[in-house]
Structure 1
């Protein structure tokens, strides 16, 4: 029996799908319009006047006047916005600040404006509608939907509300989904992640859950507590659960563990949301990559990752990108971020339409020996190493070991396995070979006996959760880096006694 809501969802999904396909099939024109709109709307702002927006007509004009900046470089302007000044980076004031943890600058305050906020909401909605349009499956809209997210409690700074992005978005759940949405407002407001997940288990255990959404590592924690509480697979507890929506990290390393916890395969939709904008979502179940949101008030530039730290790297628009190249993504937005480096690297999987995968962070890489290993490569190597085995990995991170007690340096992989792990040397060899196959620099270092093959150090059960708790980043939008060019994480895991 289908409800009116699930019946009406299908024609609505088809209409939205047509609108999306229209701009996706005219990408260059769409991005040109966004670029012109951004320059026109911001030319009377402080930033626009300082950078001569009045005389910017082309992308080349923009490159000459507006350098690439990260948060620290743009901070002088952001501090004025935070102080309550108007018309600094974008017209008027932001309506929110998304507060995120900075690495060198303490908290970062990312502006969200009246113009940018609707796209944060519509992109998430459209991802689900594109799924309905493709599969014809809409029955799940009648069930309960859980979104594991940060607290919706907002603070205020000079008249502007601030909080975590997921907490801000929680205020925009449409009325027709309010009754379906879980957890309750009270539970969502719990700050302690352990306490919060236990409360979510209590609330959802006897409900008809059809959609579950969140960062995979934290959804896994929720699933494990469900299994611990009931002794059953998640799919047996929630018989109508058939759609997992995730973002923030690559799902592939978690897939086998999730299918084991659920007890069956479920469809999934990958999202690419960030405080700075909602950049992409998976629009096709069978195609690799997420559809880049070209009509969402964001103008994109791309710099080859291996040229990024050059004195004057080339800034390309979408018309010049190629499939498979690793790019640093640079954005200019209707929230007032200009030629802004969000720190992510992406690769295009398609240019008709433009689809991307997130390949890592420009700061998250290992090149202690000149190997230039990135996040996507270690994830692919692990996936390849686990192929045709029953081994399940809960979480992992990689660090260089530059000064071992004996022998050559190596990459040290800290892996939390699900259950006891035997034949670890075989797995080391398989992962190492897969990494050599992907990265010629790493291959040369191994074959030239500059490095020895990688070594796996086992992390105790729930060890990574304990680590994240120890640095105050358990839950919410916090993610464990897949790899680092130093041993900060590695040393902390060892110091806390979280390895075997």
Structure 2
């Protein structure tokens, strides 16, 4: 064991005490965070507009602060991007994380001197927690790669602007910089395909021990490594590769193909980072759920998913949640986001400690016929059948077909790129449909009542989703293909790739 690995175990034991504090005291930590946030922001423009000086309880807060999305909060953010201070949080943000919105165009999410350290701390603690739990620390002696956006910064009203992953890349602790790849020059390449090819060349002969990124883009990296080496498995290219860290999408639809590319079932850590805050990470190799970070400068609220679009939905604090129920996640943060809908749905699988699963996007569902099918349901239905039949799913998305051209019953149309196709695609589709009916009673009723016909699968060409994302100018980085849509926009674009 190297010196760095030995020291990391000592540091991991120390950090684990802090993580245990979160596990044991989540509700109290949330109450403390709530009081801190309101007190700190009461003299900001937002605090004065919403009478923070009169807020004593969470009930007071709910009366004064409505739930908002980015567009609702935009008038305040526009003032920040024009150079005004003390708008959402005291002073000016240290950074603006630049993200793409579907209706908002470019979005600028503030990151402050209070919120930025929490991003770094959570990423660090996810790794140290793994070391403490498993005793495996040798990976810290090798090279670590983080597939991410460009670290190049711009300026807006004197504030540094960039992608979150690029901002974080500039703040990696010094003790990790020596082992970190890709190099700054290669990380700055904007074209994703050129960047991946350059990363392959740079890392091919390195001792890679940890690889991190969004699963589909990691898969692209693995595919190009394999092609470069005549079809070798990743374990043969990087024999000391020990840990895969991922986030951004549900890993399960990608797991089989990634593990096939690697050559074994590698240890992995799921993380839940967002521009708005680092929300959770997987704190046990024995449990796929994520520990909610309740002492990270964020006060969480939860709205039952079925009420989210109501005029006056129920808003709950952590101590009021129920297990195994879907909630829209609402954030209040040291970056100055208030009653902010991040757009994700989660469910709690444990209260001791508070652990969650990310179940989808609040706007990514299908309810063209009143079925309200969510991401978790379609992913589980598809993967349960795919695993049973040994089918390899590369990527997929689902859209409603409300007016079929031949006048038959409407249906859900699934666009799937297979690595290994089913022998009988139609039979496979019927099994997936049955699995989905078991998960969603409303969908079952629509099928039984002959309102819908069973789902139809369109099999797509190899690299269909990569080519689609390239055509949209969204290849790589933190970009993801929505799994569910209520319209036909993505479906029509994918039509050209049908086999």
By the TM > 0.5 criterion, same fold?
Answer: yes
Q: Are 2:453 and 1:456 equivalent residues in the alignment?
A: no
Matches within 5 A, 1:108-119: 108-119=107-118
Matches within 5 A, 1:62-461: 62-230=61-229, 231-406=231-406, 407-461=408-462
C-alpha contact 2:303 2:328 (8 A) present in aligned 1: yes
- Give the Cα separation in 2 of the matches to 1:170 and 1:476: 13
Any unmatched runs of 5+ in structure 2? none
CA distance in 2: counterparts of 1:83 and 1:104, whole angstroms: 21
Alpha-carbon distance in 2 for matches of 1:147, 1:216 = 12
Which residue is 2:35 aligned to?
A: 36
Alpha-carbon distance between aligned partners in 2 of 1:461 and 1:439, rounded to the nearest angstrom = 31
For 2:314, what is the secondary structure of its paired residue? coil
Residue 482 of structure 2 is aligned to residue 478 of structure 1: no
Distance in 1 of aligned mates of 2:388 and 2:85: 58
Residues 421-449 of structure 1 deviation map (CA, whole Å, 9 limit, x = unaligned): 43112211121111111100000001111
Equivalent residue for 2:494?
493
**CA-atom RMSD, angstroms?**
0.8
- SS, match of residue 94 in structure 1: coil
Kept in 2, the 8 Å contact 1:244–1:269? The answer is yes
CA distance in 1 between partners of 2:17 and 2:275 (Å) = 27
Superposition TM-score, scaled by structure 1 size: 0.98
Q: Alpha-carbon deviations, 1:189-228, whole Å to 9, x = none?
A: 0000110000010011111111000000100000111111
Instruction: Using the TM superposition, give the Cα deviation of residue 322 of structure 1 relative to its aligned residue in structure 2, in angstroms.
Output: 1.1
- Secondary structure of the corresponding residue to residue 467 of structure 2: helix
CA contact (8 A) 1:288 1:349 kept: no
Unaligned runs of 5+ in 1: none
Q: How many residue pairs get matched?
A: 497
TM-score by length of 2: 0.99
Q: 1:319 to 1:61 in 2, by over 3 A?
A: same
| Displacement after TM superposition at 1:106 (Å) | 1.3
In structure 2, what is the Cα distance between the partners aligned to 1:28 and 1:196?
44
Question: In the TM superposition, what is the alpha-carbon distance from 1:303 to its structure 2 partner?
Answer: 0.2
Contact residue 384 and residue 430 of structure 1 kept, 8 A: no
Greater CA deviation, 474-483 or 414-423?
414-423
CA contact (8 A) 2:326 2:359 kept: yes
**Residue deviations 1:141-169, cap 9 Å, x none?**
00110100000001100100100000000
**Deviation sequence 1:71-127 (CA, Å, 0-9, x none):** 110111111111111101000000100001111121101000000000010000000
Counterparts of 2:428 and 2:285, CA distance in 1? 30
Q: Where do 4+ consecutive residues of structure 1 move more than 6 Å?
A: none
Mapped contact 2:98–2:109 kept (Cα < 8 A): yes
